Copies of this chain bind each other. A is one copy, B any other.
Amino acid sequence: MDRLIENINRYTLLNEHETRLLQSAVEKKVYQKNELIFTEGRIADEIYFVTEGCVRLFYNVDGNDRTAFFYSEGQFICAGESYTYDIPAIENYQAVEPTELFIFRKANIEPLLKEVPRFEVIARIATENELIASQKMIASFVTKSAEERYIDLLNTQGELFLRVPQQYIASFLGVSPETLSRIKTRVFAKRNS
């Protein structure tokens, strides 16, 4: 809970009453490595905040899973369209290591948003954070090669490489595991030369 409150207080200071209200509205849950947190076809009625661990977003394409993103500590996760419009989601979220999440259920959060205007600020900031992550991902898809995206990942989320199975990294880059091996060899040869 501390990490969540700390994260929120970076933007807007909650008073004691607001902090207690927030604490009563969220729920902590621990997931095992590889456990599915949310699967496609359901209507998303929860927003997640990662306090520990790593969550993989993947889509199912004809039975093959395609990794789109890794969320780590301090990030909010929401299947936006499903949550907003109550339609079945296409997103799957999976813990790729032991992971602890705070869960905001829509049914608990909506009354709070009505009662306490400050929570609207928090909801906007959480949404902004996810928007920024999404826009960066799009820019990276549009402007960069797989090798450049690999180097970015190494520079910005280097610790992920120790934690996430390599086939997920390959799928995130849109390449085969063999191509990922070749990219790695090239990148590290350049770094060490």
A120 touches which of B91, B121, B131, B174 (Cβ 8 Å): B121
A139 touches which of B90, B121, B131, B136 (Cβ 8 Å): B90
> Chain B: which residue is nearest A137 at the CB level?
B138
With the chains together, A143 CA to B59 CA distance in Å? Answer: 7
With the chains together, A121 CA to B61 CA distance in Å? Answer: 35
Please choose the segment from A26-34, A95-103, A122-130 that sits at the chain B interface, where 4 or more of its residues have CB less than 8 A away: A122-130
A142 touches which of B59, B81, B139 (Cβ 8 Å): B59
Find chain B residues with CB under 8 A from A69 CB.
138
Find chain B residues with CB under 8 A from A68 CB.
138-139, 142
Binary interface profile of A, 85-96, with partner B (CB < 8 Å = 1, else 0)? 000001100000
Q: Are B80 and A135 in contact (CB under 8 A)?
A: yes
Q: How far is the CB of A140 from chain B (nearest CB, A)?
A: 10
Question: Known contacts being A117-B120, A120-B121, is A138 close to B132, with CB within 8 Å?
Answer: no
Q: Are B124 and A81 in contact (CB under 8 A)?
A: no
Q: How far is the CB of A18 from chain B (nearest CB, A)?
A: 14
Q: How far is the CB of A76 from chain B (nearest CB, A)?
A: 10
Most B Cβ at <10 Å: residue of A59, A136, A137, A142:
A142
With the chains together, A132 CA to B44 CA distance in Å? Answer: 13
Q: Are B141 and A141 in contact (CB under 8 A)?
A: yes
Confirm or deny: A179 has a beta carbon within 8 angstroms of a beta carbon on chain B.
Answer: no
Confirm or deny: A23 has a beta carbon within 8 angstroms of a beta carbon on chain B.
Answer: no
With the chains together, A66 CA to B68 CA distance in Å? Answer: 20
Q: How far is the CB of A39 from chain B (nearest CB, A)?
A: 15
Confirm or deny: A185 has a beta carbon within 8 angstroms of a beta carbon on chain B.
Answer: no
Most B Cβ at <10 Å: residue of A128, A130, A131:
A131
